[in-house]
Structure 1
Amino acid sequence: MTEYLSIPTAAGTFDALAAGPADGRPVLLLHGFPEAALEWDHQLRALGAEGYRAVAPDQRGYSPDVRPEHPADYGMDDLVGDVLAIADELGWHRFDLVGHDWGAAVAWHTAERHPGRLRTLTAVSVPHPAALGSAIRDDPDQQLRSQYMREWRHDKTTERRMLADGAEALRRMFEWKVPREHVEEYVRRLSEPGALTAALNWYRAGTPDHRIGKVEVPTLYVWSTEDVAVGSTAALDTENWVSGPYEFQMIEDVTHWVPEEVPEALSALLLDFLGRR
C-alpha cells in the first residue's frame, strides 16, 4: 500500500508517494516527462513489501507548490538541489537513488556531484549524460532521435499542440504502453494552468553549467531496445562513464516507458541489484 506525503523544502512543498516501513533502507525514485510519481507505483509497492522505505516525489514543476515560472529555475543545479533537500527533510544521509527519463538525468548528475550521499544509482532509459551528448554530436541515428528536444525547447506553441483535441498528442506519446488510468492522471495534471509549461521548462533551462564526469557510485543502467528516444550508441557507451561497479541490463522489445510497460521485470531487476549492494 502506498501513502501520500508532503515534503517541505526551501523551494516549496513536494507532493510524494511512499511505501514501506519508516525505518527501512531509504530509496528515492525520480520520475520523468510527462509523468509523475505515479509511474513508480509498482516499484514503490514492491520495495515496500521487501522492507525498503521508498519515496517518489512529484518533482519541480510537477508539484503545484514548487512550480516557478521561469525556465532558468529548472536548471540542473536546482534539480539536484531538490533531491538533496528532499533527502535531508526525510532524514536520509545516504540513500539509493533511482531515476527514469529526466529523473535518470538528474540522478546521474546527483551521483557524480555527491557520491558520498548515495549507496547506489539505478538509471532507467536515459544513459550517462556525457554518453548521450557524445552520441547527439556524432551519431546520426541519435541526432534524429533527439530532434524533439530542440523543437520543444524553442517552439512556444508546443503546449498548445500537445493539449489540442483532448491532449491527443500527449496521449500518443505513451505509445499505448502505459496503463490508461495513469495516462488519464498525467493528462489531468498537465492540463492544469501552467503545469505543462513547467514540465517543458526542464528542456528550456539549457545545458548544465557543470561538466559531468565519471560516476563512482555502484550503478545499474537499464535500457530497452525499442526506446525511440535513446539508441544503442549512447546506451553501450555508458559503461565508459562509470568508474565504480557497473551493471547493464538490456530489455528486448520494450519501449521507453519501462517502469509502467514491464513493471514486474523492472521491480525484479531493482530488488536484485539493491539486494546485492
Structure 2
Amino acid sequence: MNCPAPLLYVRTSMLDMAYEAHGPADGEPVILLHGFPYDPRSYDGIAPALGEQGYRVLVPYLRGYGPTRFINTQVMRSGQQAALARDLLDFMDALSIAQATLAGYDWGGRAACIVAALWPERVRGLVTGDGYNIQDIAHSHEPQAPETEHRLWYQYYFHTPRGVAGLTAHRRELCRLLWALWSPSWAEGPSQYEQTALSFDNPDFVEVVIHSYRHRFMYAPGDPALESIEQALAQQPPISVPSISLCGADDGVGPAPEEDDDLAHFSGFYRRQVLPGVGHNIPQEAPRATLAALLELLRPLDPSAASLKLDSFYRARR
C-alpha cells in the first residue's frame, strides 16, 4: 500500500524537516514517527485513512533520512535520544501545534515517549511500539541475556571503524538484512524495501546512525545543547498520558516478553497489545491494529462509523 502525500518542509532550530501531510489543516493533529531503518512509508496504510476521517496527520522524515537536512554544517549530526525528542518538539512548535496524538516505534517511538514523559501537556495520547522506549544509558554497559545480546550485533558493529565503513559502503544491503531479521514473518517486506531504501541516501544518514548507536552505550559524547534533556531522561521519568503499547510477537530485535516489564513506567491509562505474526516494523506490518489503537485514544464520536470508513478505505486500495 503506497499512498505518499505531497512533500512539505518546515524549518526548526536544527533542520529543514521534510514531512507528508494528510487531512484538513484544521483537523486534530496526529504525528506519526518512523524508526531505523525505515521512513514515512511505514504509515502508508494509516495516514491516509486518518486524514479521510478529518484528522490532520503529519509524517516527518527524521534527521538523517530522506529529504530532511541540517540547516548548517555547525549543527552536530547527533542521533542521541534527546536530539530526536527535541526535533519532535521543534517540529510541533514550528507548525504551531500545541498538542498532538503521537505514534512511533524504534527511534520514532523514542522521540514520542520522551516528549510524552517530559512535556505531557503537549501530548493527548501515545501509541508506542514496544512500550517504554526511553534509554537507560547509565546502565547500558550491564550485560544482558546472551539471546538478547546476539540480536544487538549490529549495534556493536557500529561501535567499530569497520562498522562505519560497512554502513557507508553497504547501507542498502545491511538495512535490507535488518528488515529480514527483524520482521521474519512479514511476507510483503522484501517487495516494500526499495521504496524506503531511497531515504538512506541522505548525506547525513551514516553519521547520525553511528552516533545514535554509540551514544546510547556512552561511546560517543552527546550534543552539549541537549545535555539538560539527557539529564532529565537519566531519571527514567514516567509517562502519564493515555498510552497503548503495540508489540510484535515475532520482533527480531526484542520479542515481546510474556510479562510486561514496562508497566511501571506508565502512570496513566495504559494497555499492552501483543500482535501475533508481527515483527519490528509494527505500523507497516499491522496497519489496522495501529489504526485501531490510535482511534481508541482519539475517541471518535461514533466508533462503529469509524470502523466502517476504515473497511471502505482498505477495500478501495486492494
TM over 0.5: same fold?
A: yes
SS of 1:54 mapped into structure 2: strand
Q: Of residues 177, 182, 188 in structure 1, which corresponds to 2:198?
A: 188
1:162 and 1:10, CA in 2 relative to 1: closer, same or farther beyond 3 A? closer
Please report how far the alpha carbon of residue 43 of structure 1 lies from its aligned counterpart in structure 2 after TM superposition: 1.4
Aligned partners of 2:18 and 2:60 also within 8 Å: yes
Does 1:84 find its partner at 2:89?
Answer: yes
Equivalence map 1:132-211=2 (5 Å):
137=142, 139-140=144-145, 141-152=147-158, 154-162=159-167, 167-175=172-180, 177=186, 179-180=189-190, 182-206=192-216, 208-209=230-231, 210-211=233-234
- Aligned equivalents of 1:192 and 1:4: distance in 2? 16
Partner of 2:226: none
Greater Cα shift, 52-61 or 75-84: 75-84
Equivalence map 1:18-57=2 (5 Å):
18-57=21-60
Aligned partners of 1:80 and 1:106 also within 8 Å: yes
1:134 and 1:252, CA in 2 relative to 1: closer, same or farther beyond 3 A? farther
Equivalence map 1:185-264=2 (5 Å):
185-206=195-216, 208-209=230-231, 210-211=233-234, 212-233=236-257, 236-264=260-288
Aligned partners of 1:112 and 1:214 also within 8 Å: yes
**Which residue identity lines up with residue 69 of structure 2 in the other structure?**
D
**Which residue identity lines up with residue 143 of structure 1 in the other structure?**
E
Please report how far the alpha carbon of residue 70 of structure 1 lies from its aligned counterpart in structure 2 after TM superposition: 7.8
- Aligned equivalents of 2:99 and 2:203: distance in 1? 36
Q: Which consecutive residues of structure 2, in runs of 5 or more, have no partner in the other structure?
A: 219-229, 302-318
Aligned partners of 1:145 and 1:231 also within 8 Å: no
Greater Cα shift, 60-69 or 99-108: 60-69
- Aligned equivalents of 2:24 and 2:136: distance in 1? 37
**Which residue identity lines up with residue 112 of structure 2 in the other structure?**
A
Larger Rg: 2
Please report how far the alpha carbon of residue 125 of structure 1 lies from its aligned counterpart in structure 2 after TM superposition: 3.1
- Aligned equivalents of 1:137 and 1:21: distance in 2? 48
Q: Which consecutive residues of structure 1, in runs of 5 or more, have no partner in the other structure?
A: none
Please report how far the alpha carbon of residue 105 of structure 1 lies from its aligned counterpart in structure 2 after TM superposition: 1.2
Partner of 2:70: 66
Aligned partners of 1:125 and 1:223 also within 8 Å: yes
Greater Cα shift, 209-218 or 129-138: 129-138
- Aligned equivalents of 1:94 and 1:191: distance in 2? 32
1:234 and 1:193, CA in 2 relative to 1: closer, same or farther beyond 3 A? farther
- Aligned equivalents of 1:258 and 1:105: distance in 2? 14
Please report how far the alpha carbon of residue 45 of structure 1 lies from its aligned counterpart in structure 2 after TM superposition: 0.9
1:234 and 1:112, CA in 2 relative to 1: closer, same or farther beyond 3 A? farther
Does 1:123 find its partner at 2:147?
Answer: no
Partner of 2:304: none
Partner of 2:291: 267
SS of 1:5 mapped into structure 2: strand
1:134 and 1:266, CA in 2 relative to 1: closer, same or farther beyond 3 A? farther
**Which residue identity lines up with residue 82 of structure 1 in the other structure?**
D
- Aligned equivalents of 1:133 and 1:52: distance in 2? 39
What's the RMSD between the two structures over aligned residues? 3.0
1:174 and 1:74, CA in 2 relative to 1: closer, same or farther beyond 3 A? closer
Number of equivalent positions: 276
- Aligned equivalents of 2:77 and 2:18: distance in 1? 22
- Aligned equivalents of 1:39 and 1:115: distance in 2? 25
Q: Percent identity?
A: 26
Aligned partners of 1:128 and 1:238 also within 8 Å: no
